[in-house]
Structure 1
């Protein structure tokens, strides 16, 4: 009896050992080990993508801003002037005006500015530059012929004579101008294809750049330098330091306009319709380019020498209308 139990126990031990050995053998080819995954990790909620400002290319924290009308303000800057509100602009167009001064057309859409100015009279360059954007203008009147051109271009705005409270001490703000604008204005269409991470400024002839100079007769040389820390180009307008993500220099003819009302005077005027050479700096790069703008209702296309759109970095774009006699250099 004891011998039978011993034999049974011995047989059971052999069987368990055999099964254990079998369990420890590697699985046959093609087999896979099944492991209990436990509780699955929750899937992350995707971050909703923010719309970009049509004139800045930068993400907007308030999506509704993407659909609002642009505001445009002409600004006159002397050599000793201190203009305000330029760093908040999405676009700034610069014309070399009389007596060493600059005439700027500042456009605001994605951001607001509490103080803009000094507000200047409207000029043909304002109408030709911003007309395609369908903005609401804040301007300080102007010669009769220029005001008539503004109306003929189907552009509207407000002046100190119409709403003095919106122009304290010759300055204004985006809040004041939007309060004066009628409802129903349309958002502008993008002017540039903005660069994304790793996108080059142009498809060819891109060179490293850290300094840009523009020298126009009768004006101090304008110098822009690249700041690697902020990834911005910095320049001076009057006595104010301004920054831009891109500076676009368009070379074009200037002509002299004779104004008769309300007083006789002669004014230089950039001929922004046509085509010509361009130079663009954005990020630590520069590229030669060409520009073309057939008329007011058409966008000014800036393309590289292979015919592809220039792609500046998102942010403020500063467009300089350089006379054909100006010296433009980049290093």
Structure 2
């Protein structure tokens, strides 16, 4: 995936042309847990100059960005390593189900999973991170050339078997887990965490008190319940808790979800989640919900969140969840 400096080779030119074609096509949007052993204690990665993670707003030893596609249907739970993520995206996939894309930089758990396949929406969403690592179980054959042309380092079991393990206590396809340290070792030039538009600090003066908020997708639902003593939101999925998932900020981002040109093995069309442009959102923090606007002018740009008056809307320092939903 990496090239040399100076003149482009014919292969590099072809790859660039393919990537331009993908971008011109619009990258329109879409969005498949853990081994029986106890969750390991996350270990830190190398420090940034500033010493504050741009993804969580907390003091951190931020390292290269690793994104992992994680299944979220009931047989895939409980998840492993999700609590160590800096940022978690929720994307819609076929049949109204959802998958998660967990983004790591500050901390690396020993294992993450269960790992499942990538979607076209992931490519547009990850462009704002620079050139991150994307770990996934595979992809539709027609999508593979686009993944290879995208500005990221793909890591799959087929190409990097040492970065994955299978849990013998779980059935396929819910038994594939990633070793994050081994995945990152394959991409020493992966982009480190950088500003993707998030701002952290005191909450806006307004906002409506809320004890819980449920976000519904066509065939999945997420409920976030405020826990004042922990200054965090407890997460339940389809009515069930999945361990110590306690984001400090939850963003319900209203986006366009439309059919893509890809489909799964059953013939179901994969949705594509459009994450560029602008729209409305709600930001949950400190037991309140704040109305917001989001803006992302291009695939390479970060996503900013503002109050209705246009002022930056600060997140609470800590893990952030972003639910990309086409419904309000």
Q: TM-score range by the shorter chain?
A: 0.7 to 0.9
Aligned residues: 265
Whether 2:186 is the aligned partner of 1:180: answer yes
Which digits, 9 at most, give the CA deviation of each residue in 1:233-277, with x for residues without a partner? 111236524220100011112112242687744112212122111
Q: Distance in 1 between matches of 2:273 and 2:142?
A: 17
Tell me the TM-score normalized by structure 2. Answer: 0.75
**Corresponding residue for 1:101?**
97
**Corresponding residue for 1:55?**
55
Match of 2:118 among 114, 119, 122: 122
CA drift at 1:72: 0.7
Could you tell me whether the CA contact under 8 Å between 1:78 and 1:100 is conserved in 2? no
Unpaired runs of 5+ residues, structure 2, are 1-48, 167-175
CA drift at 1:162: 0.9
**Corresponding residue for 1:273?**
276
Give the SS at the match of 1:268: strand
Give the SS at the match of 1:243: coil
Match of 1:153 among 137, 150, 154: 150
Q: Distance in 2 between matches of 1:228 and 1:139?
A: 35
Q: Distance in 1 between matches of 2:115 and 2:290?
A: 33
Q: Distance in 1 between matches of 2:297 and 2:265?
A: 31
**Corresponding residue for 1:110?**
106
Match of 1:141 among 113, 135, 138: 138
Which digits, 9 at most, give the CA deviation of each residue in 1:134-158, with x for residues without a partner? 2111111201333222233221121
Could you tell me whether the CA contact under 8 Å between 1:79 and 1:100 is conserved in 2? no
CA drift at 1:125: 2.0
Q: Which runs of structure 2 are paired with 1:251-290 in the superposition (5 Å)?
A: 251-259=254-262, 264-290=267-293
Could you tell me whether the CA contact under 8 Å between 2:82 and 2:102 is conserved in 1? yes
Give the SS at the match of 2:246: strand
Q: Distance in 1 between matches of 2:292 and 2:74?
A: 29
Q: Distance in 1 between matches of 2:151 and 2:285?
A: 33
**Corresponding residue for 1:73?**
68
Q: Distance in 2 between matches of 1:263 and 1:53?
A: 41
**Corresponding residue for 2:231?**
231
Could you tell me whether the CA contact under 8 Å between 1:144 and 1:261 is conserved in 2? no
Unpaired runs of 5+ residues, structure 1, are 1-48, 327-331
Could you tell me whether the CA contact under 8 Å between 2:195 and 2:302 is conserved in 1? no
Could you tell me whether the CA contact under 8 Å between 1:282 and 1:312 is conserved in 2? yes
